[in-house]
Chains A and B, each alone.
Chain A
Amino acid sequence: MSLNKLRGKNNEVKLALAGNPNSGKTTMFNELTGSRQHVGNWPGVTVEKKTGRASYQNYSLEVIDLPGTYSLGAYSEDEVVARDFLTTGDYDVVLNIINSANLDRNLYFTVQLLEMGVDLIAVLNMADEAEKKGIKIDKQKLGQLLGTPVVETVASKGRGIDNLFAETVQHRDLSEAALKIDYGSEVEALISEVVSMLKKFDFTGQINQRWAAVKLIEHDPEAVKLLEREVGASKAKKIKSLIAERELKAEDDFDNIIIDRKYEFINKVIAESVQRPAEDQELENVSDKIDTIVTNKYLGIPIFMTVMWAIFKFTFTVGEPLIGYIETFFEAAGGWIGSLLLGAGASPLITSFITDGIIGGVGSVLVFIPNIFLLFLAIGVLEDSGYMSRAAYVMDKVMSKLGLHGKSFIPMIVGFGCNVPGVMATRTLDSKRDRIISILINPLMSCSARLPVYVVFAGALFSNHASTVVFSLYALGIVMAVIMAGVFNKILFKGERSHFVMELPPYRFPTLKGVFIHMWEKVGAFLKKAGTIIFSVVVLIWVLANLPLGVEYASAESLIGQFGQLIAPIFEPLGFGSWQAASSLVFGILAKEVVVGTLGVVYAAGEGGLRAALTANFSPLAAYSFLTMVLLYTPCIATLGAIKSETQSWKWPLITASYLFVLAWVVAFIVYQGGMLLGLGV
């Protein structure tokens, strides 16, 4: 098909990389473009859109890395993106990246592209692995059978790239006829009838009509939608009922016939162009051996736990000193710039705005960077090595009991460190349902910022049972997460069935370059998106803490203080109805550890004095109730910002913020009033 042959004359070529997950698209993308790339999001979804530029001879190439997909059937958000892009055809040539060591499944996608009429170059990547397995591919013959140019590459070693460039510029005006597979007389007869109806109804679109007909016969929901959009519901119905009528009389389901014929075609192509060792001579491969250990009945779970613990340790221990440096730097910078400004005669208000507001705000965003950096480094290694999918495999039974997916475990573990990367780690989930539920319950994992609050209160009021109190809060968070996962499953996504039909890719050594590029993209995205939201809210809070003009920062007279007084009665039944407690919770939305600092300010107590102030103002029961509130209530701005940017909608951060507030209030109420009834309120 020549959809939009974009730029026939000048030397611009637009390339898209498409293929199965793990076939080496991203490696190829990096190899083609070097580091000249731009990462954004596809319109409307969080799936990453990567474009980069390359030049070859006097050509200028734009390269797009599409998300991996097994078919054009489009299940996850990723796959929909790839399919939409490929069907609308905003490109000159598709480089179909194929894992040569697994032709059967990879060619299934290639054949679908060719049937749709996509102009593609078949890139036989991972030629080294195929060779190791003793697979010999006759490129010429394969190209002939598929009717498309074939190039062999090893993306991870940069082999064959020049050749690929040469083929690409040579074939940028490639315009092949769509591949036709014979689906047998019964289906073929129906196809031609449907095609002629499509013609009659003026269904032109940009889409190959035979392909559209096959998709309709397969009952592809997207194709049906497209048809209804293009020709209207009543005409679409005529085609649908024709197909339904035939199917009723047929001996076999059409979708079965179509898929069988496709695989028959692929088998024939492979038989004619590929030599491979007989099945029983295949070496038992290393991946299978590793799997027998990693997914072993007794070792599987301990190994998983150890890996999770190692990631957690790595992210937060290595990160801590770095965070310390960043904090110190921003404090010093604030102080230095502040005195400089005051010295230059700036008003205290402006100085405070710049130091507390802007510099403090930027600092509060940047403090997350080391953790996010390290975490995504670790996740990158797990993903590229192939362990990630095994972890999901090992944990799926437990998680699906909770209405979640095997892969939901990772975001939850990460959440104990910080909910921001926790929310971001849900990206590895491909069903929207699993993803949203995992995001919604993530703030219930008690992040490390809440720990200082627990420690201060436990030290002041529960000195004999401090660790038990802290532990009970962590446990309470997990219990609530389990309960809420169940609730959301029932009310939000009733009846949607998720599945665990997932490839377990072969184990590989992750490459340094791949992992670093991966990590850099994630951190960059966080800085750009969450950063702007967090920053503006931080500034807003600063303004509220300083208005009306002339009040002391965050005092009872400031808007924040007044707001604290206004909402304090809400917390009365929970045992802590003072404006001080209320405004510390308001500030806690900035960042949970701020609760401690605010209590210090509003009780006008120094470091040591806070304990005394807390003992004087909270009964142990009220303190425990307050801590459950801190554990469960509205997450910090950074987390809400991350939820906004991950879900691309205000709806989910708003739902998260409000359900958690209600939940926290209810639980704290039960704790306090229940405690009073039991006579613990002294």
Chain B
Amino acid sequence: MEAEINLSESLEDYLEAIFNLIKENGSARVTDIARYLEIAASSVNQGLKKLNQEGLISQEKYGPIKLTKSGFKAAEKIYCRHKILYIFFNKTLGVSKKNADQDACSIEHALSEESFSKMVEYLIKNNYIEKKNCAFEMNTEKEEVKMTAEQLMLDKIKVGSKVEVVKIESKGRLKRKLMDMGLNRGAKVEVKGKAPMGDPIEIKVRGYSLSLRRDEAAEILVKEV
């Protein structure tokens, strides 16, 4: 795993807000974040500046805010903790949805690694969550990284290698198009070649040849098989 970045509690909140906004609306803007966290836009701007310095987000002037790869990972981690806590409170303890959500929010930043993994184990054992979900991935990531092949973006894969799609990180129409062309999770992909100037690349998927630009391939997470 990458080096941990220690974030202050409020920065984690920003990151989580951005993550959720992007997930829901496809984009996150300063005003959206301010509304989401119920704080002033000026303080949002300060927070964003810090996140930018940490390399967790990238923002073009007045453009939407984007999570960088490490930003995405950090946000996903917080998001997972939130969700696990929420499920734990709501499903096992029967806490009301509203309170479960609020409590999850305040505990998520301070929860120790140990309690977190114990909680996940417990939830899996009692069938509250499936193995596939994000929490499980988070929980076992360390071992899995050692056990299975490395995960990379498709544009980094050498010509001639065979890989399997893990996740499409594109959004909207591009994501849809890629999936319609047969690039969903689990699809086997072979990198066949690249154009004379190195871009686009040609891959073989589901028995046919498909071309895509490098920046499109850079949004497809794959693992070697």
Contacts and interface: CB of A to CB of B under 8 A. Distances in A.
B206 A104 contact: yes
Interface stretch (A6-14, A43-51, A255-263, A511-519): A255-263
Counting chain A CB atoms within 10 Å of each CB, which of B20, B186, B199, B208 scores highest?
B208
A501 B202 contact: no
B35 interface: no
B132 A252 contact: yes
Interface in B102-135: 129-130, 132-134
Interface string B164-183: 00000000011111111110
A503 interface: yes
B209 interface: yes
Nearest to A498: B213
Interface string B1-44: 00000000000000000001000100000000000000000000
Contacts of A490: none
Interface stretch (A396-404, A414-422, A624-632): A396-404
Secondary structure type dominating chain A contacts: helix
A472 B168 CA distance: 48
Interface string A270-312: 0000000000000000011001100111101100000000000
Contacts of B216: 499-501
Contact of A501 (B24, B132, B134, B178): B178
A71 B195 CA distance: 27
B198 interface: yes
B145 interface: no
A397 B197 CA distance: 7
B173 to A, nearest CB: 7
B188 to A, nearest CB: 9
B136 to A, nearest CB: 10
Contacts of A397: 195, 197-200
A295 B193 contact: yes
B182 A108 contact: yes
Given A252-B133, A295-B202, A396 B195 contact: yes
B100 to A, nearest CB: 11
A462 interface: no
A502 B207 CA distance: 14
A103 B175 CA distance: 22
Interface string A55-74: 00000000000000011010
Contacts of B206: 102, 104-105
A394 B195 contact: yes
B132 to A, nearest CB: 7
Contacts of A104: 182, 206-207
Contacts of A506: 208-209
Given A71-B180, A251-B132, A500 B212 contact: yes
Interface string B182-205: 101111000011111111101000
Contacts of A291: 192-193, 202, 209
A393 B195 contact: yes
Contacts of B184: 256, 259-260, 263
A20 to B, nearest CB: 9
Contacts of B175: 255
A602 B74 CA distance: 76
Contact of B211 (A73, A292, A502): A502
A509 to B, nearest CB: 18
A504 B210 contact: yes
A207 to B, nearest CB: 19
B132 A287 contact: no
B193 A105 contact: no
Contacts of B196: 295-298, 300-301, 394
A604 interface: no
Contacts of A500: 200, 211-213, 216
Nearest to B135: A251
Contacts of A259: 179, 184
A497 interface: yes
A106 to B, nearest CB: 10
B207 A105 contact: yes
Contact of B174 (A70, A105, A501): A501
Interface in A79-136: 101-102, 104-105, 108
Contact of B213 (A71, A301, A396): A396
B209 A504 contact: yes
B177 A393 contact: no
Given A251-B130, A398-B197, A499 B180 contact: no
Nearest to B162: A279
Nearest to B170: A499
A616 interface: no
A75 interface: yes
Counting chain B CB atoms within 10 Å of each CB, which of A244, A259, A260 scores highest?
A259
Nearest to B204: A288
B27 to A, nearest CB: 11
A248 interface: yes
Contacts of B132: 251-252
A251 B133 contact: yes
Contact of A497 (B174, B193, B197): B174
Given A259-B184, A295-B202, A501-B177, A251 B211 contact: no
Contacts of A75: 173, 177
A108 B130 contact: no
Interface string A384-397: 00000100011011
B195 A260 contact: no
A102 B204 CA distance: 12
Contacts of B173: 75
Contacts of A505: 208-209
A7 to B, nearest CB: 34
Interface in A536-587: none
A70 B180 contact: yes
Contacts of A503: 181, 208-211
B50 to A, nearest CB: 27
A528 B34 CA distance: 58
Interface string A366-398: 000000000000000000000001000110111
**4 nearest interchain CB pairs?**
A300-B196, A397-B197, A71-B180, A104-B206
Given A252-B133, A263-B186, A295-B193, 19 more contacts: A70-B181, A102-B207, A105-B208, A251-B130, A251-B134, A259-B184, A291-B192, A297-B196, A393-B211, A394-B196, A396-B200, A400-B213, A499-B174, A499-B213, A500-B200, A501-B178, A501-B216, A502-B210, A504-B211
17 contacts: A70-B180, A102-B208, A255-B179, A256-B184, A260-B184, A288-B192, A291-B192, A298-B196, A300-B195, A396-B199, A397-B195, A400-B213, A499-B216, A500-B212, A500-B213, A500-B216, A506-B208
